Structure formats: structure tokens, C-alpha cells
Amino acid sequence: MKRRSFLGTVASAGASGLLAQQPAGAGKPSLVQTPLVLMAPTEHGLEAAWGVSRLSRGFLEWETEAGTAGVAGMDAFGLSPQGDRVLRVRLDGLPSGTRGRIRARTTAADGESVLSDWKRFRTLDSGASSTRFVMWNDTHVNQETLRQLHAVTPAADFLIWNGDTCNDWVQEDLLIPTLLHPGGCDITQGRPLFLTWGNHDVRGAHAFRMSSVVATPGGRPFYAFRSGPVAVICLHTGEDKPDDHPSFQGRVAFDALRAEQTRWLTEVIRRPELRDAPYRLAFCHIPLRWLDESRQDYATGGFDRHSGRSRAAWHDALVSWKAQAILSGHTHQPAWLPPNGDFPYGQIVGGGPQPARATWTEGVADATQLRLKMSRLNGEVVHEVLLKPLS
């Protein structure tokens, strides 16, 4: 299968790239190992994460363009944020659409202290007249693809990394460079990050550690928000085979997670900022529709090209919400499936991990239209979809 053939090559190249990012020499490694990564923005704040080489504590200094300033440095239990691999600090309590700058101070247990450079930030603004966002998918630790994506992707209100950041979490030390310093780039410079989980992101002995590195708005792998006229729901489609497949060795329970998301969906679509939005999109790694939905023989290597289990669980709620499009990855084959009589929402699917197959999708919305444009790294436009605002 085309989708599977890349794994051996990319896994080897990706591992070499990750090792190259580690500090060299026999001396003590640098205390701070990654850029300051800005994640999970909301209307009133965001979370920052960064990698460290040894036990440290950290806090954030922030200043807004309106002239306010402060320090964020408390975890949920009243302690200073601490860790020996990654530090995470949440900044909250800001007005909607706040613009400012932020930096981190890291202090090791041995007393060494490092102050990062300032980084610009902006909280989400549900009342804005327009918004711009971008989507990546299926990067699979391809360092060259990540570098090129970072180079061509413009500043935006948010970036959604829509699953399969890795090739399976077979080593714990892959997590931080893969998620916080992909391609050796500062990917949240000018675009804070949301992340959805793909099927490869839940594989490997260390997959359970991913949630300790990645922040989401509510601490769950599914969430919703609004930016300007666009309401967004992000969902976790789980694996591309049943939970009881022997390859998972009892490590997964995605049927229960889908059911939880179903209950959550019926409630969240009633929130006024989502219910009344002019544009309504859902993001999930495995598409809910596909070109060929033939039944798969899992015993002989078959896998789901679309998540039929997720669609069965969520379709009615998405239709009730008047979702206009689902944005996904997984197949490594770009596609646009327009709405039809059975599915009032369209389905957009991005490309694969190699530079020649990779795509990035930009959304730009204002009062008149939402334009979704999928492009290759060389600038070729693969698909362009125009959506009109809902009344």
C-alpha cells in the first residue's frame, strides 16, 4: 500500500534527524532543549511547553500591548510547574483577542537559570470579523517535510496539527523533539498550536506519555472553540482497526472514548458561540468519509481508510450542528468529497509525509465566505473550497 510503504524509510531518516537535535559533547547538556511552544489558545489564555534536560521549575513572564504584565507560575496543585523532561505553564485571565509577548524562565535544581527570548502571542477572539488558520497532517517525523511546511506556512490565528506526528512512540526520548521541536523548527512562531491525535500517535509502548507533553484547552483529546466567525470541533478518531485487534495487545479502548465524545458533542453543539457561528468545521485525523468504503479484512492486514465507527457515533450530532466540512488526514491521498444527499458535510483529506506528497491547508474566513485552500509545498493548489456563511 502506498500509505504504508513510507514507514521504514521515514522511520530511519526521522530517527537520525532527532538524534542530530540532541546536544553534542561530553559536557552537561543545555538546560533548555526546545523553543517555547505555545499551545491550546483560548479566548483568555494559552499554555506554553518546553523541553528541559534535567529536573527544573519554570514560569512565564508576559506583557500585553495594552500595558498590563504579570507572571504565570502555578500548577493545578499550587506548586511551581516542575519536571525533568518537559515544563508546562498555563496563562489565563486575559481579555479576548489580547496581543502581547511572553517568555519563560527555567531554573534547574542545581541553580542554573535560563531566560528565553520574548515571543509574540495572541489569544483567540470569537468576536473578530475574520480569522485565518492552517492545518498540517501526517508528518510522520519527516524532517525535511516539517522544515518546508514551517517555511511556507504563514502566520495565523492557529495551526492544527491533525494527527500522525510520529511513526509510533517506540522510544520515550522521541516525544519531546518530535512534538516540541519538529524539524528543528519553532513551529509556533506566529501561530499557536492545536493538536489532534492520529492512529500512529496512539501506538507504541510510550504513546500514553504524549498527553504529558501536549496541551489541549480542557485537558482532553477532544475540544471545541471559536475564532472569529469560525466554530471548530476537534475529535479523536482512535485507531484504524477494532479495539480487540491483536496488534494492540489490549492497550486501547477507543470505543469508550468515542461514546464519551458522542455525549460531549450533543452538549457542546448547544453552546451559543458554536451554535450561532457563521461557519462550522470539524477536525479529526481519520476521515469520516472516503472514496472507497469497502469492508476491510483486518486479519490479512486491512485497515480503515475512514472511521466508520466514529461516523456512526457522531454523524447525527454533526448534521444537527450543520457542520459544513470535516478536515482530516490518514490516507496520504489528498481528496475533496463534496456534500451529498447522505452527507450534508463535505470531507477534506490532506496528503502524505514525503515533501512531494505533503500538503497544507489554509482557511480564511470573513463575513462573505470561508475559503479552504489545500496546497503542495511547491505552491500548487490541489483543492480549493468556498463555503458561504450559515444563516
All domains of the chain, ordered by start, with CATH?
2-9+124-387 (3.60.21.10), 42-120 (2.60.40)
What value does the mean pLDDT of the chain take? 93
Q: Let me know how many helices (H) and strands (E) the chain has, helices first.
A: 7, 21
Q: What is the pLDDT of residue 11?
A: 40
Q: What is the pLDDT of residue 18?
A: 38
Furthest C-alpha separation in the chain: 65
46-70 pLDDT, tens digit each: 999 999 999 999 999 999 999 999 9
| Separation of alpha carbons 20 and 14, rounded Å | 10
CB 332 within 8 A of CB 353: yes
| Separation of alpha carbons 59 and 257, rounded Å | 33
Task: Report residue 15's pLDDT band, with 50, 70 and 90 as the boundaries.
Answer: very low
76-89 pLDDT, tens digit each: 899 999 999 999 99
| Separation of alpha carbons 324 and 36, rounded Å | 34
DSSP string covering 101-166, please?
EEEEEEEETTS-EEEPPPEEEE---TT-S-EEEEEE---TT-HHHHHHHHHHPPP-SEEEEES--S
Query: Is 150 a residue whose pLDDT tops 70?
Result: yes
216-262 pLDDT, tens digit each: 999 999 999 999 999 999 999 999 999 999 999 999 999 999 999 99
Query: Is 143 a residue whose pLDDT tops 80?
Result: yes
Report the percentage of the chain scoring pLDDT > 90.
Answer: 91
User: CA 288, 292, 294, 297 torsion: positive or negative?
Assistant: negative
| Separation of alpha carbons 211 and 175, rounded Å | 10
72-124 pLDDT, tens digit each: 998 889 999 999 999 999 999 999 999 999 999 999 999 999 999 999 999 99
| Separation of alpha carbons 121 and 138, rounded Å | 26
192-211 pLDDT, tens digit each: 999 999 999 999 999 999 99
One-letter amino acid for residue 154 of the chain: P
pTM equals: 0.92
Q: What is the pLDDT of residue 75?
A: 86
Give me the phi and psi of 166, to 5 degrees please. Answer: -130, 180
23-51 pLDDT, tens digit each: 434 578 999 999 999 999 999 999 999 99
337-385 pLDDT, tens digit each: 999 999 999 999 999 999 999 999 999 999 999 999 999 999 999 999 9
Query: Is 8 a residue whose pLDDT tops 90?
Result: no
Neighbour count for residue 386 (Cβ, 10 Å): 10
Rounded to an integer, the average pLDDT of 178-203 is: 98
